Amino acid sequence: MQPLLSGKRVLVTGGSRGLGRAICQVFARQGARVAFTYNKNEAAAAEVLETIAAEGGQALAERCSVLDAKGTAALVKRLEADWGGIDVLVNNAGITQNLPLALLEEEDWDLVMDTNVKGAFLSSRAVLRGMIRRKEGGVILTMGSLAGVRMLEAPIHYCASKAALVGFSYALAKEVARYKIRVHCLAPGLLEGGVGIKVPDHRLKDYLDNCALGRLGTFEEVAELAALMASDRASYLSGEVVVADGGL
């Protein structure tokens, strides 16, 4: 069977660690040419490139904050010039802080909301302009969270930012459908090695007790689902929030 993303040109924001790293590796394994951004850790980015190259894939890394509008636009233009276009954007870059609302400073709120929401806006805007101009369709896949679609005990500003991405995805899917561009939001539950490692034991136990599969998910599992959603095999899927939480 042909790889899911054979020949696709993909940009992933925040691809040097965690779920972003898994997405880059799985997408490359599925035949995509992958470019990813990272914020600071050059060594981690180099490890991702080495891993992908060792498996015979193609990837490149660019140090660029998702809040750097000019840098993001310049990166997109370079990729379009070198590749002829971008078929898939994965808005993955995001942060959180484990702080209760009463202790949140205005700067904390702005940092999380800007990184998680404004970052997705800036990246999507940069990529969509080329997608619309080329008239070849495309996919925008934004990584949400269970915290954005369920009532959970989690940092308020993180929940608010992930809920905002749901509305962003719904509205954008409707707006760009005329250009044959599909927009999705993938909302994972707790994952091994993710924010779940900072969850208190009593909350983790409550999650596992109520999860039908009785376990945490893995980065690899979510990345494989992301690859399917970004592929042509999901060609009739758009404007959806897909929750991957093990059956909570």
Q: Which residues of the chain have pLDDT under 50?
A: none
- Asked about 158 being catalytic, the answer comes back as yes
> So what's the pLDDT on residue 202?
84
Which residue type is seen at 150? R
9-235 belongs to which CATH class?
alpha beta
pLDDT at 196: 66
pLDDT of residue 124: 98
Structure-block tokens of residue 123: 């990246």
Q: What sign for the dihedral angle of Cα 206, 207, 212, 215? A: negative
Domain definitions of the chain by residue range: 9-235
Distance CA 237, CA 102 (A): 40
> Which residue among 158, 170, 207, 236 is the active-site one?
158
The H-or-E segment that residue 219 falls in is: helix 219-230
Do 81 and 4 form a contact (C-beta atoms < 8 A)?
no
What is the model's pLDDT at position 39?
93
pLDDT given for residue 75 in this prediction: 98
User: At a CB cut-off of 8 Å and minimum separation 6, what does 204 contact?
Assistant: 190, 196
